[in-house]
Amino acid sequence: MKDHPQHPVRQLEPSALWNRFADLNAIPRPSKHEGRVVEWLHEWAAEKGLQSLQDKVGNVLIKKDSTPGMESRKTVVLQSHVDMVCQKNEATDFDFMTEGIRMIVDGDWVRADGTTLGADNGIGVASILAVLESSDIPHPALEALFTIDEETGMTGALGLQGGFLSGEILLNLDTEDDDEISIGCAGGVDLTSRGSYDEVDTVAEGNTALSLVVRGASGGHSGMDIHKGLANANKLMNRLLLEALDSVDLRVAEIQGGGLRNAIPRESRALLVVAKEDVDTLIDAIAATAAVLCEEYDTTDPDLVVEWEERNLPSKAMCEEDQHALLLAIQCCPVGIHRMSPDIPGLVQTSNNLARVQVGGGHVEIQCLNRSSVDSEKDDHARSIEAAFALAGLVTEQSGAYPGWTPNPSSEAVAMCRTLYEERFGESPRVLACHAGLECGILGTNYPDMDMVSFGPNIRGAHSPDECCQISSVQKFWSYFLEVLQRTPERNA
């Protein structure tokens, strides 16, 4: 699984960080399949003479004593997650379960060949490893916490028990703008709506089938990118179908749209049944809506494409009544921003991502991820989504709920990080809460007195095959990170 030792990524500076990132990206590590990377972390720690522990859910803790002269400083927890979002372009032949990420150096950016890069949160993991293996970086006593399954439920952070950590300050290295210091985040809940529908026979003389595809949407992180107004392929597919029904009778045999809950869906496919004499009318209706969609999303999703072709006729499709109810329910499902924060300028407070739509064989499953920094509003927004699908006879389950991270305005760590940023870069950082889900809120439930702050380098397109990490920004982040470690306050200061 190792890449070539002379891979261009391994020649970048800081060398230790990029080499550990390359090591990490050689190991397949989808969410909920972190066994290989967890084993590698233990082996790596043993090679470096460091103590490694593992809790009952699979989180790894590696400890390192302070360097000389730093013994009286507060112990710092360095925290990042080892799993990655696995998304690829439709035409990319790649198996996330068996292959290492194929990285490309493109000017000032590192990206992957048609897949997610894993910089979220691999750069954070690599940064921590580079500090742990160093012999010349001053630092206090360190507890390096590597959590599992952050991207699909935060089950690693949720399963972490009190008493596993002893540090007083936690540095989370999982944000994506190098001029930001994050001090809070949204909570979230997974919504899964399921139901069944009656099918009708379609094998009749005079019927044919049409495959309809929406692809090329920009996609992105369903928290950090939700404010950009990006196309949601599931919503676009539903609009194509509803507007086509204004012109021609059709039946839906299948819909497969989207993928992961935390990724804005880029693609959707549907299989439609229509009378042969109505094919041209259906195509004209689809083409008209497609032209409007491409114009509406030309700025945010310039590669958006709607395609169609005739296919073999399926034996079954949705009955008209159930089809009507389902398409209207999807139309009612809120997508994107529900409310901006009235207290923090520019912060999305509550949103929903209609992440996945699966229709076929008499069954429907729809997956959403609902986020909010206000739990009561999150609950109310979830009820709206549940109500929309209840009108189509679907039953909604909630799972994977996690709390937000409430900002602490008197945080000693935040004040230190802000002052240091101003000194180093001659400008004030943006100190803010974000709409993504960070693990700090969950970790704080069992460690309420731990002082927490989050920062990281510039990463763009996270959760999509466009994900890339800026080389010069990593260098800026690295120098800042090392000085943060040196500025750690004294115990009982």
CB atoms under 10 Å from CB of 142, counted, come to 25
DSSP secondary structure letter of residue 99: -
Where residue 261 falls (left for φ over 0; alpha for ψ -120 to 50; beta otherwise) is: alpha
* Gap between the Cα atoms of 339 and 237, Å rounded: 25
Out of 83, 177, 267, 386, which one is annotated catalytic? 83
Phi–psi pair at 61, nearest 5 degrees: -125, 125
Give the Cα separation of 131 and 121 in Å (integer).
Answer: 16
Number of CB atoms found within 10 A of residue 45's CB: 22
272 CA to centre of own chain: 31
Give the helix ranges, DSSP H, for 298-341: 320-332
- Return phi, psi of residue 30, to 5°: -60, 155
Would you state the torsion angle of the CA atoms of residues 65, 420, 125, 264, taken in this order, to the nearest 10 degrees?
150
Q: Alpha helices of 210-340 — where are they, by DSSP H?
A: 233-245, 279-296, 320-332
The 3-state DSSP class for residue 466 equals coil
Q: Which two tokens stand for residue 178?
A: 């190098």
Contact 491, 73 (CB under 8 A): yes
Rounded distance, CA 183 to CA 176, Å?
14
Strand partners, 353: 369
C-alpha to C-alpha distance for 344 and 251, rounded to whole angstroms: 46
Angle, vertex CA 102, rays to CA 98 and CA 106, nearest 5: 165
Query: Which structure tokens are listed for 93?
Result: 């032949």
For 22, the token pair is 């390359």
Q: Catalytic: 412?
A: no
**Catalytically annotated residue among 149, 150, 151, 439:** 150
| Maximum separation of any 2 CA atoms in the chain, in Å | 86
CB contact at 8 A, 59 and 148: yes
Can you tell me the distance from the alpha carbon of 39 to that of 46, in angstroms, rounded to the nearest whole number? 11
CA 248-333-359 angle, 5° bins: 60
Q: Which residues of 214-250 are buried (b: 16+ CB within 10 A; e: fewer)?
A: bbbbbbbbbbbbbeeebbbbbbbbbbbbebbbeebeb
Q: Where is 257: in which H helix or E strand?
A: strand 251-258
Active site residue 149: no
Cβ proximity of 453 and 475 under 8 Å? no
Give the residue numbers marked as catalytic: 83, 150
